[in-house]
Structure 1
Amino acid sequence: MTATPSNPTGTPPLKKLNFAFPFRKASEDQSKPSKDFTDAQEFHGLLRKEIHGAYPVSREWLWHGGIHVTDTGAGSSLDLKHGVRCMADGAIVAWRLNKTYLVDDLPAEGEVPAFQAQYSSGFALVRHVMEFPADNSLTFHSLYMHLQDFASYELDESQLHPAYWTKRFRVASGANDKPNPSASGTSAPPEHTGLRVSASKSTGRIIGILPRGAQFSLIKQEGNWGQIDAVHASALVPPRVGGFVESDAAVGGWINLERNGDTHVVTPFTPEDALDRIVVPVVPFPIKAGDFIGHIGRFDSVTDRNAARMVHLEVFAGSEIEPFIEESRSWLVENAAKPAKWKQLGLSAAPTILRIDTGTKLFASPNQEGRDAPTTGVIQSYSLAELAKGAESAVLETNRGSDGKRMRWWKVESADARRREISGWIREGNFAGGRVSREFAQKWVDFEVLAAPHDTAHTIFASAQHWADYARGADVPAAGGIDKLSPLMHAVFRQLYETGDGNQAANDLAVASRQKWTALRASHLIVRHESEWANSEKWLQLITAIEKSKGATATLRAEWDRIQKLVWWEEVSAQLPGLSDPNVFHIHPIAMIGNFQTSCSCTGQLLSEEDLQQIAQGTPRAKIQEYVSALNTAFNDYKFDTCISRGHFLAQILHESGGLNFTLESNGRGELSYDPWRGRGLIQITFKSNYEEYQLYTGEDVTSNQLAMEKLEQAPHALLSAAWFYAIKAKLIEASDADDFIWITRVINGGFNGYDHRLQYFNRSIQILGLQGCLKLNRNGSYRFEESKAYREKRASFAWGLWNDPGLTKRGIAEKTKSEAIKGYARYLELDDKVGKATDKKGDPKDKGWYGIGRQVSVRHYCETRLTEISNRSRGQHD
């Protein structure tokens, strides 16, 4: 496992930059949720389905700085319903949201009917900062172009709205606060009913009432409270009838946004003045890798005249990328093999990439070349984490190799010099068959930076005229030959095709995206080129050249009109320092994610005493030493293959055992009704049936006598029995990989006793084991009930209400809130309604007596009562 210990030099560790693929993988079974991609090769394969929009050359012999994902191409295998996701941690610095899609009206041309081509000019631009090593940073941006229009969200209310959109609130009909009567007893008129504005949260002084229909925006939101930035419609009403309040008195005040029972007191909305314009926020909107950005939008082709949905994805950086990569590689030359240097940066010292060079023989079996061993004709890189998932494809050497090391052999796939698929075995280090190395992502393995003059009209040719000659099939010698390309595209061509005369260079570049190995090589080219989204006039050169050769058409006019409405660079850069030069270095989004995406696999890695000690703070060193070996055995035997599953398991056993100190259920000196089968182990195995199940699974006698039972109180079985219960009996590995802390705690405890303490252990594991890139549901150290599997279970929902109820004293969650209690109780009722309000044979409620509410007390009645009591509490009271 990866440690992130305190830094002996005193220099803070680098801030980890997390990456995520822009979509999740659609499930073949529609009833099951989509899954995260973990293999960049798989995503690259989907991109080969796309007819247009490949990187770095389009099928029309034009420069293309990003990739397209369409609903009929790669999107047919992606989870489009849940939208496009942010590709790395960062902040949204600009966006544009179309009210409705823009339209190109194309008249009929000959037999081709008239067509209204809809398209989106909506986009989101995200700024990211990467650092490696210390004091060497790179600012880069990711672009999400052609996002869905606002009208489409209005039509489908089930769709999630992007969180960064400009948001205002309208006081709704559920708001029932009123000004106090006047001194003479005069009541406020109905039109003054609305929502109180307080000087502070909780029971602060009432500033006034925002009446129903009033509109306001917030400076910030903290839980159910929002601080008012401005009031946009209506006027603030004095807190007492006949009183006075300044018109701007609400600014800076606090308003409670919590629902009033089942009705909303405010409704959020996007104002008209935030639509069809570029928004550059004063304070960029923070966003994490994997967060929702938007949905793919319409982008109908004016050439083919067909409806289509797509998104253009792009990553680019300024000129600092070259020295940044050089500095990163230089640091690795000096320090890659020095674990202490990695610890100073707070990073893992383990390589993440396996690189197989060209000319490497793939052996018939580990250490056996066999006859006619095929030889690689391409450079192939694998994620070591992905390789580790195929246990049948890995063999650890029994004897040390000529380099004195015992290493793994992997079965891999590659291609020969003629691009024919081959497969065989390689050693994960240089061997008799060729050159194989384990590499660090920070080396930017096989990425090549290219910068040279290019056609200002964005063709791959030296001029727009050369492009027009080739496009119309002019009788020009070697019209598509390498000599007609721009210097930049000449360099690109030779990166992809090292040999050959280049007579068909233009065509070869246009079809490169269809060929697996050529497309993979192209994805590792970092190419400097003017952005497509700047300087619309450059496209006029190309359109003029086309018109000279083919004549003016409605299609060309529509293309020119569309281009002028798509560009955004000049307007954004005028408000955003650091984005002035549109001549940027473009990076293939999937190649970058594949290179840097954090591996969550811990297969083959050992938990150290140092790591465990830092997580289990306060646990005696002797206990750490007693259990660390058994922990590593359990991780292997019970398939805790991901780092995050290990972190969740540690959090639970450390709480359950009081930091590894207690392995026997105590009842003072008294006996228990189920003795001698009382709880034993770090997650206490209780009752005869569970003892017998563990014995049957492991073959270890833990039932025949007292001494046999007491094995569960000591290492290794105190730990191994806990791992058995967690992974086999409770089946919590999947929930751990999904980062579902709430559900794990519910299963282990039955409710949420010790919730905060367990969470402290897990959040500490995140830091010590470097789990930041593996988190899915953890947000700043906390979890949301509605995102957990617990939200789909009645008992868990009721428990969530109980443990969060400020009016009760359940121990485990210290910061109890009305909103979370209501969420749990209301969810129980919703689930109970779905099953028809379950009753027993007598017709009485079936759910009774849960969690000590009283043996005959109906859970449903209890929820309804508590919801009423909570809702009747003063709305001004602290939540």
Structure 2
Amino acid sequence: MTNQPSSRQAPAAAPVKLKPLSFAFPFLRKGRGQSGSSAQFTDGNEIYRLLAEREPSGAYLVSRKGMWHGGIHVTEAGAGQSLDLEAGLRCIADGVLIAYRANKTYPLSEIAATGSESPVQAPYSTGFALARHTMEFPQGTKLTFYSLYMHLMSLEDYANFPKRDKPSYWSREWKVTQHAQDKPSPGGNGQAADLSQQGLRVRKSYPAGEIIGVVPQGASVTIGKKEKGWGQVTGLQGASLYPPQSGGYVEPSDAVGKWIYLGHENGGPVVEEVIPDSMFDRVIVTTNRTCTASDAQGDGGGIAVKAGDLIGHLGRYDSLNQCTSGTRMAHIEVFCDDSIQSFLEQGRAWVNQHGPHKEDWAALGLSPEPTILRIAPGTVLYQRTQDKRFVPGADPQSRKTDAVQVYSLAELARDPNRRVTEPHPNPNPGYPVNWWHVEGVNAQGQPIDGWVCDFNHASGRVTREFAQKWIDFECLSDDHDPAHTIFATTRKWVDYAGGAEVAEPASRSNLSPLMVTVYDALFKKGDGKQAADELCTLAQTERGGYPWLMQAASRLIVRHESEWANPSKWKQLVTELEKQTGAKPQHEEEQKRIETLAWWDEVKAAVPGFPGPEIFHIHPIALGSNFVNKNLVCKQCGAIITLTSDFLRKIAPDASSDFVVAMARASVDLFSQYGVNTCRQVKHLLAQAKHETKRFKEFRESLNYVSYTGQSLYNMAPTAINSGFARKNMTFPTPSTKIVWIQKHLIANDAAYGEHCFGAKEQPGKDFRGRGLLHLTHYETYKRCAQAIGYPIDRQPELVENNHRIVNESGLWFWRDRALGAIADNPTNLGDEGVKKITHPINPGLKGLPERQQFKREISAMFNQDFSSGCTDD
């Protein structure tokens, strides 16, 4: 056992602090190297390059055919070659899923084939998922935005990819098959069981707990958590239970919270997954469901989702024009209503007024350190000489940037080849001054690279910026054509797309007022005669300025009607097109597709507050880039201490790749949120966690005491064992009978010991043993942690061992709850004695203290080498 419930007095109510919204990019990078495990993207510029190199169509703002496009496309044959497609699309931020549609099988478009009686069939997905998110900054100013994931995989298609998990928000049941042949046992009076009463036993605990009853063959149940081939029943779909003994009786509700086997017996699976037909091929609005306590954004209901959660997989979307087969793709977009303009204005005003004042950030519970490095146009990128000096170079004009560059400071700091600390900064700005290696483009459209200094750069403006300022994002709103082209009229689009013999079809003068505004925001030079061409090729790599032009376009937040609403408006475009081409079957089929894809009206009718179709669109990668990477800066010495995978591999060589990724992400997203913001705290936290988790490999405490006798077990943990007896109202006539009971029921029975000693009346059948980064222990501690971190670990304690984000966040919450940061930061708590003082609130018995002290010394040495820590603590 490790920690005990806190006995300290609850602190006085603190001012309301903001909880930063967690973000993630919507897909994972395909595994590299020998491990082959996938990883999270951390650099938005890497994704921009990937989209530009691999996705010739489906770019943000403008498609290559001159159509408006409010999102981005990712295809299996394009960017998908570098993505982990098995891992699927991921939710971009914490929020709630408010609506979805899943195809059972893909709808088919049919086009007559030349020279064949059989039409060409082109499947396409209408499946989508829609999530709602809310961010707040400053206090009292909120923005509700939505993320949309279109063209998701159908149920039938999942059969082709057995390794891909179906989305958890899909309704599903488990049907008991004919291979489940358990029967009630004979009654107490010898009454034999009815031979027809066969099914699947329900046990109080697995694998050999008390039998509650038998679920009949053909009946369906719903399952919550799964463990080691067993599933916990959350509901019976109208089914009754056979009693455990013939002639007896059992209430169906008794099965809830108990366990059934999910494996194979008698030649086949005892249960099979069944997804109700009623779920498919219709818009399902989830806001009428009651949100759990874990839903931190549950206003109006919905299904809670977290940043990085699986949303779905790329679905089929075969082209009608090219009749290509087997195309898989997804469309991802983010949108919000008009409140975005006021939200940006208020946030920027607050940053302008309060940005330099760290105490004002602390009052909101936010990091006071900027997270973004901005290089303004006209900045010369310096060269580094062999004697390690930084100079403008022989031809400074050719090394002068011609476009804004924006970098995550955390991402730059992760690569030791991109940062050099200035040894003698002058004047001293109060934090370490660094030189950063960056890329850009010059006025001739040539790529350049070099070094900039993040304070008082001699040849240009380089600044550190706050994400809350949404630096360089701009809201654009103007009149636009309702037929979703970039032109002022549908006729002008037809002329351009069809190559009509008209003067200057691509001219700026032919664009809609909105797209003139967009064009002028991006292109400062030239006569505008090829404006449409320039807009249609924004994302192409052969264009000068890539990827900075794409980055600039991604920071335009543009008001335009959604393409998923008002499908009838596309008819005017088709009508105009057919004046030139004549009627074509592709046009009719395309109109059918558009009508089938639409969902806006159904969602708006069922979701209060959902906006009308005139919305502001936000580039999903730009949004993620602005908020995903937050550097962790030591508040005492100013070192950037965002943990890298390379560093974590040094201190945790045997940890799983998933854990390493999650811990690196936690240092970005969670450390500052829980007050872990100094070198000393990070070193102590990692040392303690390394001991508690057996070198970051085991996140659940083992309670198997087979090597002990009953007496020694009782002597070792009398408080925990007696609390179990008290909770269960169990008494014994003599101490010896108590020991006999312990020997019979607890010795060598990990599950029974855990339930007895760390269970709760509120959650029968569960145990609340030590789990997570610092071994969270006891029901009341789990309950308080659940309320703070927004996950239902008080009802599903296994989350604290199975979900790496929760493994980390629960440990960080415990660190803050026990005020361990103050102990670590106390300058008198140095060396081994400091480790001892940190250990006591975690384990009052100081178990494993020598190893904790050894880990602290080892981690400190590696930490100081990698992060140039200025905090002396040894």
TM over 0.5: yes
Deviation at residue 738 of structure 1 after TM alignment = 3.2
Determine if the alignment matches structure 1 residue 41 to structure 2 residue 60: no
**C-alpha distance 485-431 of structure 1, shift in aligned 2 (>3 A):** same
Q: Which residue matches 1:101?
A: 106
SS at match of 1:738: helix
Counterparts in 2 of 1:206 and 1:641: CA distance versus 1, 3 Å:
closer
Specify the alignment match of 1:320 in structure 2. Answer: 339
Contact 2:131 2:146 (C-alpha < 8 Å) held by counterparts: yes
In the TM superposition, what whole-angstrom CA distance separates every residue of 1:288-314 from its partner, at most 9, and x where no partner exists? 111111111111111111021111011
1:425-456: CA deviation from partner (whole Å, max 9, x where unpaired): 22103432011100011111111101111111
**In structure 1, how many angstroms separate the alpha carbons of the residues matched to 2:670 and 2:532?**
54
Alignment map for 1:325-336 (pairs within 5 Å): 325-336=344-355
Q: Counterpart of 2:334 in 1: which secondary structure? A: strand
Cα distance 1:733–1:385, how it changes in 2: closer, same or farther (>3 A)? farther
Deviation at 1:215, TM superposition (A): 1.7
Contact 1:8 1:344 in 2 (8 A): no
How far apart are the structure 1 equivalents of 2:254 and 2:601? 35
Given that 2:72 and 2:332 are in contact with CA atoms closer than 8 Å, whether structure 1 keeps it comes out as yes
Which residues of 2 match residues 227-246 of structure 1 at below 5 A?
228-229=234-235, 231-232=237-238, 235-237=240-242
**Could you say if the C-alpha distance between residues 120 and 364 of structure 1 is closer, same or farther in structure 2, counting changes exceeding 3 Å?**
same
Distance verdict in 2 for CA 1:309–1:177, change over 3 Å: same
1:568 aligns to what?
Answer: 599
Q: Does residue 397 of the first structure (1) align with residue 422 of the second (2)?
A: yes
Instruction: Specify the code of the residue in structure 2 equivalent to 1:737.
Output: V
Residue 96 of structure 2 is matched in structure 1 by 91
SS in 2 for 1:302: coil
Aligned to 1:737: 660
Q: 2 CA distance for matches of 1:410 and 1:205? A: 64
Matches within 5 A, 1:369-380: 369-373=392-396, 374-380=399-405
Which structure 2 residue ranges, 5 or more long, are not aligned?
1-9, 290-301, 683-688, 708-744, 760-764, 770-874
Deviation string 1:12-36 (CA, Å, 9 cap, x unpaired) is 3212211111111113447511222
Q: Please identify, of 115-124 and 387-396, the stretch whose mean Cα deviation from structure 2 is larger.
A: 387-396
Residue of structure 2 in register with 1:254 after alignment? 256
2:27 maps to amino acid? F
Distance (Å, rounded) in 2 between the aligned partners of 1:319 and 1:587: 12
1:368 aligned to 2:391? yes
**Which position in structure 2 is the counterpart of 1:748?**
none
**Distance across 1 between alignment mates of 2:232 and 2:625:** 39
Q: Which residue of 2 aligns with 1:295?
A: 313
Amino acid at match of 1:288: K
1:212 aligns with 2:199: no
In structure 2, do the counterparts of structure 1 residues 364 and 184 end up closer, same or farther at CA, with 3 Å as the change threshold?
closer
Cα deviation code 1:718-749 (max 9, x no counterpart): xxxxxxxx9469676978633479xxxxxxxx
SS at match of 1:478: coil
Deviation of 1:10 after TM superposition, in Å, equals 2.1
Which one of 428, 434, 449 corresponds to residue 475 of structure 2?
Answer: 449
1:768 to 669, 675, 683: 675
Contact persistence 1:644–1:739 (CA under 8 A):
no
TM-score by length of 2: 0.69
Contact 2:704 2:749 in 1 (8 A): no
The amino acid that maps onto 2:347 is S
Structure 1: distance between partners of 2:642 and 2:67: 45
Q: Which secondary structure does the structure 1 equivalent of 2:133 belong to?
A: strand
RMSD after superposition: 4.3
Letter of the structure 1 residue corresponding to residue 748 of structure 2: L
* Equivalent residue, structure 2, for 1:52: 57
Distance 1:728 1:15, change over 3 A: closer
Q: Aligned with 2:420: secondary structure?
A: strand
- How far 1:70 sits from its partner (Å)? 0.6
TM-superposition CA deviations, 1:450-472 (whole Å, max 9, x none): 11111111010112122112222
Cα pair distance change 1:396/1:71, threshold 3 Å: same
CA–CA separation in structure 2 for the residues paired with 1:566 and 1:16: 34
1:462 aligns with 488
Residues 495 and 729 (structure 1 numbering): CA distance in 2 closer, same or farther, change over 3 Å?
closer
Instruction: Note closer, same or farther for the CA distance 1:806–1:416 as it changes in structure 2 (3 Å cut).
Output: farther
* One of 527, 531, 542 as aligned partner of 2:573: 542
Amino acid paired to 1:361:
V
Q: How far is the alpha carbon of 1:500 from its aligned partner?
A: 2.1
Which of 620, 631, 648 pairs up with 1:589? 620
Q: Deviations over 1:330-389 (max 9, x none)?
A: 110111111111111221111111001111122234553333212111011111112213
Q: Deviations over 1:137-180 (max 9, x none)?
A: 11111111111110122343322121111112223457566557
Alignment partner, residue 388 of structure 1: 413
How far 1:476 sits from its partner (Å)? 3.2
Paired with 2:368 and 2:532, the residues of 1 have a C-alpha distance of: 43
Q: 1:358 aligns with which of 372, 377, 391?
A: 377
- The reply to whether residue 642 of structure 1 matches residue 643 of structure 2 is yes
- Match of 1:325, SS state, is helix
Q: How much has 1:393 moved relative to structure 2?
A: 3.1
Note if contact 2:429-2:455 (Cα within 8 Å) is conserved in structure 1: no
Matching of residues 667-816 of structure 1 within 5 Å: 727=650, 737-739=660-662, 767-769=674-676, 807-808=747-748, 815=758
Q: Are the aligned partners of 1:197 and 1:255 in contact in 2 as well (CA < 8 Å)? A: no
Give 1:32's match in structure 2, choosing from 30, 36, 52. Answer: 36
List per-residue Cα deviations over 1:411-437 (Å, max 9, x = no partner).
221111222112222210343201110
Report if aligned partners of 1:191, 1:211 keep a CA contact under 8 Å in 2. no
How far did residue 184 of structure 1 move? 6.3
In the aligned structure 2, how far is the partner of 1:797 from the partner of 1:207?
28
2:333 partner letter: E
Q: How much identity, in percent, do the aligned residues show?
A: 39
Aligned partners of 2:66 and 2:117: how far apart in 1?
25
Alpha-carbon spacing, 1:176–1:354, altered in 2? closer, same or farther (3 Å): same
| Cα separation, 2, equivalents of 1:511 and 1:346 | 43
Q: How far off its partner does 1:198 sit?
A: 9.8
Tell me the residue number matched to 1:616.
none
State which drifts further: 112-121 or 412-421.
Answer: 112-121
Q: 2:59, 2:73 within 8 Å by CA — same for their partners in 1?
A: yes
Mark the CA change 1:176 to 1:33 in structure 2 (over 3 Å): closer, same or farther: same
Distance 1:371 1:550 in 2: 58
* SS state at 2:62 partner: coil
Q: Does the CA-based 8 Å contact 2:231-2:262 persist in structure 1?
A: no
1:309 — aligned with what? 328
1:186 match: 191
Tell me the residue number matched to 1:688: none
Q: Which residue number in structure 1 is paired with residue 783 of structure 2? A: none
* Residues 1:64 and 2:69 aligned together: yes
Contact 1:451 1:527 in 2 (8 A): yes
C-alpha contact (below 8 Å) 2:240/2:252 kept by paired residues: no
Q: Flag the 1:138–1:200 CA change in 2: closer, same or farther, 3 A.
A: farther
Q: What is the aligned partner in structure 2 of residue 751 from structure 1?
A: none
> Which residue is equivalent to 1:23?
27
Change in 2 beyond 3 A, CA 1:12/1:172: farther
Match of 1:426 in 2: 452
- Count of residues paired in the alignment: 670
- Alignment match, 1:521: 552
Q: Structure 1 residues 729, 533: closer, same or farther in 2, change over 3 A?
A: closer
Match of 1:139 in 2: 144
Bigger drift between 797-806 and 42-51 goes to 797-806
Flag the structure with more relative contact order, 1 or 2, with Cα contacts below 8 A and sequence separation at least 6.
2
Answer with 331-340 or 221-230: which moved more: 221-230
Matches within 5 A, 1:593-672: 593-599=624-630, 602=632, 605-606=633-634, 642=643
Q: What whole-Å deviation, never above 9, does each CA across 1:500-545 have from its counterpart, x for those lacking one? A: 2211111111111114122111111101111111111011111111
After TM superposition, give the deviation of residue 316 of structure 1 in Å.
0.7
Alpha-carbon separation, structure 1, partners of 2:328 and 2:697: 36
CA, structure 1 residues 394+30, in 2 after alignment: closer, same or farther (shift >3 Å)?
A: closer
Match of 1:440 in 2: 466
Aligned to 1:861: none
Contact 1:196 1:255 in 2 (8 A): no
Are residues 107 and 30 of structure 1, via their aligned partners in 2, closer, same or farther at CA, if it must alter by over 3 Å? farther
